[in-house]
Each structure stands twice: as C-alpha cells, then as structure tokens.
C-alpha cells in the first residue's frame, strides 16, 4: 500500500461521510442493503484523479454482492454483530456511530528562518536553529501556520505566558522546543558558568524519553554546527526519579533510557546510547559508532554540578529539588528564561493547587522583577486562557493564546482528519470484558490487513494482565483454544456479506489459505503481535515494545495499555483506539486517547475510536445521552478545568517556601531523599530551626483572599502546625519527667467499654419492655430492673463523656479539662457502678420472686408464653447476662476495669501533657527511623506526617488527603 495523496484522502473521507448519512437514514443500523454504496455513489465522492480501482487496490473500499463498503464501515458492521459462535447472541446490545472532523496542520506553509527573523532573532542564530530543525536528513521542512503564529507569540517579549492548544500530532512539541534553542543560544553568552535557561516539564517519564529522542537529533545538528564555528555546545539532561545518581561502582555501563544514537543510521543494530565511565567521568556514548556525547549530562550529580542549558524533568522532581539542601539544587533554576508544561491539563484540581506554588517559587527564584516565560501545552483544555492565568498567577494581559482552528481557518486550510467514534454497550447478561476480548481479535486482524496499529486502553494493570493472559494463554494458545475464535470467522461456510464472516478482514496473503495454515499463523505471529504497555515494565522492555510498535515491520501491532501511552509519545500509523470502559473521572482522557489515531496519511487521516461502555448506570447514560457523548468527542464540550487551592495545600507550601529558603542559605532540610533524620536530638534541633523559618514565611497576597473563610482556615491550620512543632520542642527538654501512661490506650479502652455497655443496655431495655407489657406486674419486681437500667444509662453516658474529654484534653494538651471532669463526675460514675446488682441478686429476683408471681397469676410459664408470646427462659438469659460483666470475681469485670480506667485518668490529669505528647511523638519517630534502617534516616515529609499524626498532611506526590474533599476555585 502506497501513501495516498490528498485527493485520495479527500475521496475516502467523503465516502465515510456519505456512509454515515445512510446509517442515519436507515435506522442507525448497518444491516439494511441500502447502507451499501452503489458505484454511482462512490464515484460521486471521488476527487481529482482518484478512481474506484485505486481505493479497491488499497483495500480501503470493499466490494460485495450488495455494493461497496469502506473498510471502516465494514469493520463496524462486523463489530456490531460480533459473537464467538454463529449460534450465539451478539455481544453488542446497543451501538452508535458519529464522525468528528478537524483541520490538519499545513506543515511547510511557513519558513522557519523567516519566522525567527521576523520575531527578532538574529540572522546567525536563526540560521543555527533552522539548521538544527531542518538540516541534513531532518524530516521537517517548514512550519504550519499554527506553529509559526505560536512561535511568534512566544518570542514576543510582552507575553509572559502562552497557551499552546491543538489536537494530537499538530506539532506542539516542535513549537515549544524551538524557543528553547533560542534561549540556549542566548545562554552561551553568559559568563558566569553554565545555567539552565529552559525547563521542559512532562507528567510522565516515558514521555520525557520520547521527547528527548525527538529533540536529540536536532540538538546534535546544532552542536555540530556550533563546534564548527568555535562555540561551546548546548548541554541537555534528564532529571527524574530514574535518572542515576551516579554511575555505580559495580557497573561499567548502563542504558541511557533506551534512546538511540542520533548519528547512526536508523537501521543500525545495538545503537542504544549507554552511560559509561571509561574516562572516570560518566558520559553518554554509542556502542555502535563509539561517538561520545559530552553535552548530554547523564546523572543527577553531573546535572547538579553543571546544570544543562535545556533540562527535561517533571514538576514533582522540580518540587523535590527546590526543597533540597544538597549541592546547588535549590538555586539551579535561578536563571530560568523559559518553562514549558506539556500536557498541562494534568495539573488540575488538587495537583494543580500544588503546582501553582511551585511555579510561584520558580518565578521568585530569579532576578527581582524578572520571571521566566511559561508555555502551557495541551490538546484538551476547554478554557486555556483562564486555566493558564490561574495556574501561573500571571496578569491576564500577559497571557497569550493562539487558537488552532482559527489560525488554520484564516490560513485557508482545507485538509481534514476524521475521527470515527463507535460507541458500544454489551447486553445486560454479558460482560464488557468478553466483548473487549472479541473486539481485540477482530481489530488486530483488520490492522494486519492494512498494516495499521491499534491501542486498547484499559485503566487497570490487573485488568490488562488478566485480559492479555486470557487472550494469549487460552484463546490464541496452542495449549488452549488454538485460535478457534478467529479461525471460525475466517474459514467458514458463511458468505462475506454475513457479518459473522471476517474473511473481508484478511490480507491478500491469506486469500485461499487452508484452515490449518491460517490457524498456525493465528497461534504464532498473530498472537505475538498483541502486547502490553504498563508502568510495571522495565524501561528497556518498554522501549523495545514502543520501537517494535512504531517500526513499519515491527512485531507488535496491538497494545493493551494503561494511560502510559495516552499522552505525547510519538506513535506511527495508529488507525484505531479501543477504550475499555470510561477512564475514571476524566472525559478528556477519551479525547486524548482517540486523538492518537488517524495522524498518519497512511491511515487516510481517519482515526477509529471504539468506546465500550459497561452496564453500570453512570456509564450507560453516555450510550443514550447525545450531550454526554459529545464530551467524549470535542474539547469545547468539556467542563472548564479548575485549580484547587485549599488551606491544607497552602500550609504545605508555607513549609515548602521555608524549606526552599533554608536550602538556599545552606541549612539542611532533610527533604532531598538522601540523608534523613536519624536521632531525637537531631529532630529537635531541626524543628527549632524550621519553626523560625515557617513563622516568618508568608504566601503571596494573590494566593488567598484576605476576606475569605479559606484565609481564616489557612491561618488557623498554620498556627496549629507551628504550635504542634513548638509543643514537641518544649516537651522534649523535660521528657525524663514524663509518665509511661498512654492516653491513646485510655481512649481505646474507653471506646471499647462504651460499645460494650451500649449492647448490655439494649438487652436490659428489651427485658424491661417485655415485662412492662404484663398487666398488673408488681412494681417491686420492676424496680430493681429499672434501677439497673438507669445505672447502666449513667455509666454508658459518663464513659462516653470521659472518652471525649480525654480526647480533647490530649489534643489540646490541656489537663484542666480532665481535672474538671474528674471533679464533677468521678464520684457519680463510681456510685453507678456499685449500684449495679450482682448476677446472684438478679437470679434470686427471677426465680424466687418473679417466677412465683407468674405461677400464681398465670398458672405456669407456658400459659404466659402462649398468651403474651413471652419466653421466660429468654428473659432470664438476657437479664442475667446484662449484669454478669459486673461480677467482682471476673477477670474482665466492668467494676474493676472502669475503676482502673478512672485511676489512669486521675494519673493523666496530673501530667504535663506537652511533655507526655513529646514522649509519644518521639517514640513514633524512632519507630519510623527503624523502618528506614536501610537508608540514612527518615525523610522529612514522612517524619512530619508521623509526629503530627496526619492532622496536617504533607505530600511530595500531591496525593489528596483522605477523605478527599472537593476543591474550591482559585481566588486569583
């Protein structure tokens, strides 16, 4: 199949549009013969010199007895009736088809050199950047109208922020990387040593690897030219959790993220870059051509010692570095000129609230009055300008936006990409999992015919492993079903017009094949072409899978993937995306994922998105509500993206700002994940220093409305945080005077007693109600029961009140509350305990008095039971059991246990609770340190969460506290 020209693409897309209209006309079904196309209808859709034979030869058009069908609508016809056996019911209960169109970028429309020159870049530097992007064997030749306009806006000095929108494959990465070259060239004039001028932030490590793979050949061309004219090179580095600290002493070399050499031919074997230390200094080298790339800084140590001009990282890593006191981490971003947040829609809600403050620190780090320029890139932001303004806290007039559709419309662009959305719902008695497994097999066969690629997004690693294992180890395995679920569709007695037949999906290689030969293919090459892509895979394995998937003749054709392939990673020839259920809580994920399909002209610029709904009510709503489905198709239908800014986030970033200042001034912060806190004395000395910094740290006024209740909550939480730290410090100095009494144990015991007493009360109240129903029962028999019930009510109430008082006193460190409760209630509680009769007394009441009365009044207990449905045996058991826990001789007697509890409370009220609290806090700290025995002490955030018992939650990963709460809108 040759790459189609624009006329063939236009023709095929017109055919799809006409097929959709027939689908609508004939009951939204593909079964009627009228939904096939006549030759006249096909001809009317053709553009230029494209012929029916051209599309037939490319297998984009299929001919049947009833007429023609496009390969896409033929596939949907067969999927709508999909079933494993002919006699089975279809696995699709409801289905819906819609087509969304979008403009295709007019790449090559504008010359890069001209755009840079008009934006004020000097001719020398414009030539260098143009050579880097377009020189030698580069595939880039000019910019699209959208790219050119965006670059002009970025290089306009009045814009402090640009929102770079546009669908997948619209060239956003190249757009924001070109200004990074300009800033890097500017930094070569800097005389104070190396500096990081551009910080490119990505939400996932796999995306960083992909972006550097694309960036590196361009940077290599630029550095080669710089070397020719006698300039030092532009350095680059990757800084995230998997970046090695240094080359291990026991390793001679290790892979550099699986990135291939930019100088070797693409087909060269064993050209993945490695890190080695042949010269005693870690360097990146290609084992195939033996070229060394000294401008690539491969380790955290080399990056810290000599910050690269261009740094690829994550916002979580940046946050980690800003708090770190190791080396120059806290100051490495002081000279930033340019910050990119790719896939910026990730930074919403709780995560976005944290990112706000991190960006604020980056803004404040540099020279006073000068802040870096920000670029926010995303394909799925419905409110890009408002979102960018909130996230960066910049003034509205400094935030620029280039609307993708408007720019291409003004440029007169006519080429379009079509996204065919196919929604399916399984029958109520069938699982969506069974449907997905069947669709995977059918879709993989269709991809094999067109040499396409497909992705099956499943938002659970466990679910991926389960489905892949069932497909690979049973359905397609020689030891399982031997691929029968595929073979019975392709080599059957049914005609190609029958939707059960998958024969039209076969490539020409298998026309007329024997059943045995095709079955062997199904169990081997066909089965091997299906793979998985998750975060559980090692980097090397994941890179190999991506390379195999991208290669024209690669072995992998369909991948079951989590969100690891959702964003940014460059994937070739993806024709279809299969979405298993809806992604949890984010409709933009569907748009992002389906947007990966149909990017390549080889797919006729048609992307197929199959969305499988589950039978849950919330999911089924999308099947039957067109407005909801539109949220899965178009960014403009999404709800505005919001930023969270809660009081708990603000307290954390008061701490972060204090730690950042401490690190800048050379103080240890224990926040860099290397050396932690190891002893109580070390902890106390650090807390003393920390309190001083936190106490004098303020948030920028723009972050919190001074009149809002959130401001009051924040100030209260900040005061509570400082107060708790001071309590630990002041209590530590007198911990030797502390008792070994444990308030937490008192709370646990009192809560347990309260629960048990409530159960006993219910039993006794039940007995009392039953006996009160008897007419004329003498009061002398009821009085002991009612008196016991009253005593139990008093005991239960006072034990519950005691537990609440101990809790308040303990957390406020105020023993006065305990002293007041003891003075007012201890005597009453002890008296109530004494008034509970012993079990023997209750027994005598029942058997020597009450039973005599029953016999005299009713003749026998059986007559009482028949008349009132009251069973004396049950009453006796409940009554005696209700007081048996008060027997003095029992080991677990309430009398002795509650009296012991009161003794402990009396001891507690005489304690200095601040000192006692410090004792318990330091004990928990020592337990935490022991858990970090393989490391050098415990890291700061776990320490704070432990000693504060998560009353204020600190997180380096921006996870929300539990229970999660709804975030308020930003006040900026």
Contact between 275 and 244 (Cβ < 8 Å) = yes
Contact between 710 and 966 (Cβ < 8 Å) = no
pLDDT at position 321 is: 92
Contact between 557 and 346 (Cβ < 8 Å) = no
pLDDT at position 912 is: 81
Closest CA to 607 of 592, 617, 619, 621: 592
Residue carrying the six token digits 């940046």: 318
Contact between 810 and 913 (Cβ < 8 Å) = yes
Tell me which long-range contacts 904-910 makes (C-beta under 8 A, separation of at least 24). 904/741, 904/746, 905/746, 905/802, 905/806, 905/818, 905/822, 906/822, 906/826, 907/739, 907/741, 908/741, 908/743, 908/746, 908/806, 908/809, 908/815, 908/818, 909/809, 909/815, 909/818, 909/819, 909/822, 910/815
Closest CA to 901 of 798, 782, 785: 798
Closest CA to 413 of 8, 101, 103, 5: 103
pLDDT at position 972 is: 36
Distance CA 502, CA 509 (A): 15
Tell if the pTM clears 0.85, that is, is over it: no
Give the chain's length: 972
Quote the DSSP letter at residue 125.
Answer: H
Tell me which long-range contacts 461-470 makes (C-beta under 8 A, separation of at least 24). 461/534, 461/535, 461/536, 461/562, 463/433, 463/580, 464/532, 464/534, 464/560, 464/561, 464/562, 465/532, 467/433, 467/436, 467/437, 467/440, 467/560, 468/530, 468/531, 468/532, 468/560, 470/437
Distance CA 297, CA 304 (A): 10
Q: What is the pLDDT of residues 472-484, one digit of tens each?
A: 989 999 999 999 9
Please list the residues that pair with 448 across neighbouring strands: none
Distance CA 161, CA 155 (A): 11
Residue carrying the six token digits 């109208």: 145
User: Please, what sign has the CA dihedral across residues 599, 468, 260, 265?
Assistant: negative
Give the DSSP letter string of 126-165: HHHHHHHHHSTT-S--SB-HHHHHHHHHHTSTT-SEEEE-
Quote the DSSP letter at residue 957.
Answer: S
pLDDT at position 970 is: 40
3-state secondary structure of 318: helix
Distance CA 129, CA 789 (A): 89
For all residues of the chain together, what is the average pLDDT?
87
3-state secondary structure of 536: coil
Residue 441's CB: how many other CB atoms inside 10 A? 24
Residue 358's CB: how many other CB atoms inside 10 A? 20
Closest CA to 365 of 302, 323, 398: 323
User: What residues contact residue 441 under an 8 Å CB cut-off, 6+ apart?
Assistant: 471, 475, 476, 485, 486
3-state secondary structure of 795: helix
Ranges in the chain, pLDDT < 70: 1, 137, 190-194, 248-252, 367-369, 568-569, 585, 673-674, 704-710, 734-739, 839, 842-848, 879, 881-883, 885, 933-935, 961-972
pLDDT at position 2 is: 76
Give the DSSP letter string of 633-697: T-GGGSPPP-B---HHHHHHHHHHHHHHHHHHTT---S-SSSB-B-SHHHHHHHHHHHHHHHHT-
pLDDT at position 933 is: 64
Buried b (16+ CB within 10 A) or exposed e, 107-128: bebbebbebbbebebeeebbbb
Quote the DSSP letter at residue 110.
Answer: B
- Which element (helix H / strand E) includes 70? strand 67-70
Beta strands in 775-927 (DSSP E): none
pLDDT at position 967 is: 41
Distance CA 131, CA 221 (A): 7
Please list the residues that pair with 63 across neighbouring strands: 68
Phi, psi of 198, rounded to the nearest 5 degrees: -130, 130
Residue 641's CB: how many other CB atoms inside 10 A? 24
């Amino acid at each position: 199949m040759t790459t189609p020209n624009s006329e063939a693409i236009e023709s095929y897309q017109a055919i799809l549009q006409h097929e959709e209209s027939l689908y609508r006309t004939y009951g939204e079904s593909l079964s009627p013969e009228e939904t096939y196309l006549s030759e006249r209808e096909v001809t009317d859709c053709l553009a230029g010199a494209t012929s029916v034979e051209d599309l037939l030869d490319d297998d984009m058009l299929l001919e049947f007895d009833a007429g023609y069908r496009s390969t896409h609508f033929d596939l949907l016809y067969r999927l709508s009736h999909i079933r494993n056996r002919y006699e089975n019911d279809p696995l699709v209960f409801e289905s819906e088809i819609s087509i969304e169109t979008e403009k295709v970028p007019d790449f090559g429309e504008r010359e890069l050199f001209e755009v840079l020159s008009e934006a004020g870049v000097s001719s020398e530097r414009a030539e260098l950047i143009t050579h880097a992007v377009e020189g030698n064997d580069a595939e880039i030749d000019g910019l699209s109208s959208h790219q050119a306009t965006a670059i002009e806006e970025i290089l306009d000095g009045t814009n402090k922020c640009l929102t770079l929108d546009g669908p997948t494959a619209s060239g956003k990465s190249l757009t924001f990387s070109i200004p990074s070259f300009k800033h890097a060239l500017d930094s070569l004039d800097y005389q104070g040593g190396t500096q990081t001028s551009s910080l490119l932030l990505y939400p996932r490590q796999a995306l960083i690897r992909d972006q550097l793979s694309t960036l590196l050949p361009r940077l290599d061309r630029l550095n080669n030219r710089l070397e020719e004219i006698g300039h030092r090179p532009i350095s680059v580095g990757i800084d995230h959790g998997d970046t090695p600290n240094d080359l291990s002493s026991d390793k001679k070399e290790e892979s550099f993220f699986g990135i291939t050499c930019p100088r070797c031919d693409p087909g060269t074997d064993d050209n993945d870059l490695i890190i080695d230390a042949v010269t005693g200094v870690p360097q990146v080298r290609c084992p195939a051509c033996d070229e060394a790339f000294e401008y690539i800084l491969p380790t955290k140590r080399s990056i810290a010692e000599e910050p690269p001009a261009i740094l690829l990282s994550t916002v979580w890593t940046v946050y980690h570095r800003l708090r770190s006191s190791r080396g120059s981490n806290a100051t490495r971003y002081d000279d930033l000129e340019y910050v990119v947040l790719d896939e910026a829609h990730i930074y919403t809600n709780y995560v976005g609230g944290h990112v706000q403050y991190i960006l604020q620190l980056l803004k404040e780090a540099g020279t006073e009055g000068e802040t870096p320029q920000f670029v926010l890139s995303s394909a799925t932001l419905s409110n890009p300008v408002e979102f960018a303004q909130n996230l960066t806290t910049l003034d509205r007039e400094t935030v620029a936006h280039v609307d993708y559709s408007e720019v291409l419309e003004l440029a007169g662009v006519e080429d379009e990409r079509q996204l065919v959305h196919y929604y399916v719902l399984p029958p109520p008695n069938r699982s969506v999992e069974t449907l997905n497994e069947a669709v995977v097999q059918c879709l993989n066969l269709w991809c094999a015919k067109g040499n396409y690629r497909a992705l099956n997004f499943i938002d659970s690693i466990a679910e991926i492993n389960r489905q892949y294992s069932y497909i690979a180890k049973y359905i397609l395995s020689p030891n399982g079903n031997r691929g029968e679920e595929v073979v019975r569709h392709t080599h059957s007695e049914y005609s190609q017009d029958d939707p059960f037949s998958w024969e039209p999906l076969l490539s020409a290689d298998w026309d007329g094949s024997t059943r045995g030969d095709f079955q062997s293919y199904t169990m081997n090459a066909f089965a091997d072409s299906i793979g998985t892509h998750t975060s559980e895979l090692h980097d090397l394995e994941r890179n190999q899978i991506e390379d195999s998937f991208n290669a024209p003749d690669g072995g992998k054709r369909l991948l079951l993937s989590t969100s690891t392939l959702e964003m940014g990673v460059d994937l070739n020839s993806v024709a279809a995306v299969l979405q298993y259920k809806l992604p949890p809580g984010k409709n933009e994920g569907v748009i992002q994922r389906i947007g990966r399909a149909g990017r390549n002209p080889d797919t006729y610029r048609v992307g197929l998105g199959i969305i499988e709904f589950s039978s849950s009510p919330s999911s089924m709503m999308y099947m039957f509500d067109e407005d909801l489905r539109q949220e899965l198709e178009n960014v403009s239908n999404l709800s505005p993206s919001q930023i969270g800014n809660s009081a708990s986030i603000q307290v954390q970033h008061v701490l972060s700002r204090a730690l950042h200042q401490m690190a800048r001034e050379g103080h240890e912060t224990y926040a860099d994940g290397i050396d932690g806190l190891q002893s109580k004395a070390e902890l106390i000395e650090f807390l003393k220093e920390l309190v001083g910094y936190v106490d004098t740290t303020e948030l920028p006024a723009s972050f919190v409305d001074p009149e809002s209740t959130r401001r009051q909550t924040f100030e209260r939480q900040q005061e509570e945080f400082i107060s708790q730290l001071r309590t630990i410090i002041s209590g530590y100095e007198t911990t030797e005077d502390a008792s070994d009494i444990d308030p937490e144990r008192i709370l646990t015991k009192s809560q347990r007693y309260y629960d048990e007493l409530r159960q006993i009360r219910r039993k006794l109240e039940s007995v009392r109600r039953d006996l009160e129903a008897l007419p004329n029962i003498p009061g002398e028999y009821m009085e002991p029961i009612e008196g016991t019930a009253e005593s139990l009510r008093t005991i239960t109430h006072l034990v519950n009140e005691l537990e609440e008082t101990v809790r308040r006193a303990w957390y406020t460190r105020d023993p006065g509350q305990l002293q007041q409760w003891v003075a007012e209630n201890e005597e009453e509680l002890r008296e109530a305990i004494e008034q509970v009769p012993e079990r023997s007394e209750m027994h005598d009441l029942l058997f020597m008095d009450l039973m005599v009365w029953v016999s005299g009044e009713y003749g026998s207990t059986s007559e009482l039971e028949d008349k009132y449905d009251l069973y004396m045996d049950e009453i006796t058991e409940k009554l005696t059991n209700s007081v048996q826990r008060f027997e003095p001789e029992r080991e677990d007697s309430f009398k002795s246990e509650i009296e012991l509890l009161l003794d402990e409370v009396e001891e507690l009220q005489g304690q200095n609770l601040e000192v006692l609290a410090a004792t318990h806090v330091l004990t928990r700290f020592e337990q935490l340190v022991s858990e970090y025995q393989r490391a050098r002490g415990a890291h700061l955030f776990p320490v704070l969460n432990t000693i504060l018992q998560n009353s204020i939650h600190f997180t380096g990963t921006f996870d929300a506290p539990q229970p999660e709460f709804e975030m308020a809108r930003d006040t900026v």
